[in-house]
Chain A
Amino acid sequence: MSLLSQAMTVVRKDLLLEWRGKGRLISVLLFGVVTLLLFSFAVGPDSTLLRAAAGGFLVLALLLSSTLGLSESFRVEQEQRAIEGLLLLPVDPIALYYGKTLSNTLFLMLLAPVLTPVGLILYSVQLDLKGLAVLLGLWTLAAAGLSAPGTLYAAMTSRLQSQDVLLPLLLFPLVIPVLMGAVKSTTLILTGDPMSQVGSWATLLASFAIIYWSLCGLLFPHAIEEGI
């Protein structure tokens, strides 16, 4: 069985589990909404300030929700040691990694269509459909960038004590380029982009994703060599 078909079997399995256990997605979305609310309370009902910071708050809420989603993605694997069952099969670990990373990317992509409208309403930001489409496209790149190291680290920390602390501690400094790229480009889309800089930031996001999808794919087989 080819690497691609193995990876797609893993994706199908994850999507099926996601569909059956919608609780995970809904909880993570609710968490995102709560985060957006907390940011507004931190700043106060100053609509000018909120509008200026909307891009940043939205991306931060997505980032925090993503980390929850990533750590949950391996909790289901560890419940009955299902991941070990997969490792016992002649599955190429690289296929396992890319399957898991792709399903995590798809999961993270689902957050933006819900959290973005909520953010736009709370922060009184106007955005046309074209802008929304561009925003969602950018978030897809960001989600891909987050998932690559996120899946690797979520796998490594899934059975460690203090996993809830370790995963964000490892991931957040690492994905600052993704955070900056997403915040800058989102803010430009929300407030106007007279110098067409969104393209450069999108390139940064894409570069990060490409670099880490390659690197983490190479490193994952080593990470699980002694079990996870």
Chain B
Amino acid sequence: MSPRAADSAPLAVQTTGLGKRFGRQWALAHCDLQVRPGEVLLLAGANGSGKTTLLRLIAGLYKPTQGSMTIYGMDPDQEKLACRRTLTLVGHDNYLYSQLSALEMLQVWTRLGGLDLAEEQAVELLREVDLDDRRDYPVGGFSAGMRKRLTLRRTRLEKPKLVLLDEPFSALDAAGQNLIEEWIEGYRTAGKTVVLASHNLPRSTKLCDRAILLQQGQMLWQGTGNELLDHVGTTV
């Protein structure tokens, strides 16, 4: 659980007074977050507590109403594309085009992400998520779990340093959830930083180095995964 980076290395994520307002409603406020490189951080909290907002702010999908943020020392306003290359997000949506096949979808993402994959390599990637036999089927016909696996597969294409996962275990069966656990462990081994938001505390607390509890859009509690379980029980 010890920090991997030397003290002089920039934090993976550093936010100062970060806040986001939608209309008259503050979804996130007073967020002072520091995520060390190589850390696995869990964001816990009820629906509407601000976890998704925070992840989307870090990913650059929202502009903050208040405060500032750096990603590995970079200012997302000044170095937008560089920040995008550094991170990846899997959110609530699947980002899929229903009429493309799994293989075609992967190829669109890889080409736009700057990778040139041969078809065999793409099929191999699909095999990792048990989708190689469905590679030519339109994703519109996939089950929720299959779509989730394809979208998650995307996170391993881009070789990002920072992986943001919003409810990665939802819509997956036990086998799928085990696969995600393996991946998260794999990210940790590879020195990547993971920030995940999850209601599935039994699994996510096992994986994380640190946990933060959000309530009403503010960070109210920090501790280890086990301490979180003691604090709130097994679900939030």
Contacts and interface: CB of A to CB of B under 8 A. Distances in A.
Interface string A1-30: 100011001100100110011000000000
B223 interface: no
Interface stretch (A79-87, A119-127, A157-165, A184-192): A79-87
A90 B81 contact: yes
A85 B100 CA distance: 14
B84 A85 contact: no
A134 interface: no
Contacts of A174: none
A13 B112 CA distance: 11
A91 interface: yes
Contacts of A21: 99
Given A88-B61, A90-B114, A227-B62, A80 B95 contact: yes
A225 interface: yes
B100 A226 contact: no
A226 B63 CA distance: 6
Contact of B114 (A1, A80, A82, A84): A1
A225 B94 CA distance: 21
Contacts of B198: none
B102 interface: no
A80 B96 contact: yes
A105 B72 CA distance: 40
Contacts, number: 79
Interface stretch (B9-17, B103-111, B172-180, B181-189): B103-111
A21 B98 CA distance: 10
For chain B, give the interface size range: 20 to 34
B112 A86 contact: yes
A129 interface: no
Interface string B174-216: 0000000000000000000000000000000000000000000
B31 interface: no
A16 B88 CA distance: 26
A149 to B, nearest CB: 24
Contacts of A82: 95-97
A81 B95 contact: yes
Interface residues of A, number: 27
A225 B84 contact: no
A89 B63 contact: no
Given A9-B112, A92-B81, A17 B97 contact: yes
B21 interface: no
Given A81-B93, A84-B93, A89 B109 contact: yes
Contacts of B28: none
A97 B36 CA distance: 36
B100 A225 contact: no
B97 A76 contact: yes
Given A9-B111, A17-B100, A226-B63, A84 B95 contact: yes
Interface of B: 59-63, 81-82, 84-85, 88-89, 91, 93-100, 104, 108-109, 111-114, 138, 151, 154, 158
Given A9-B112, A90-B114, A91-B112, 11 more contacts: A16-B104, A17-B99, A80-B95, A84-B93, A85-B151, A86-B95, A88-B89, A89-B84, A90-B113, A226-B62, A226-B63
Interface of A: 1, 5-6, 9-10, 13, 16-17, 20-21, 76, 79-82, 84-92, 225-227
5 contacts: A9-B108, A13-B100, A20-B138, A82-B96, A92-B81
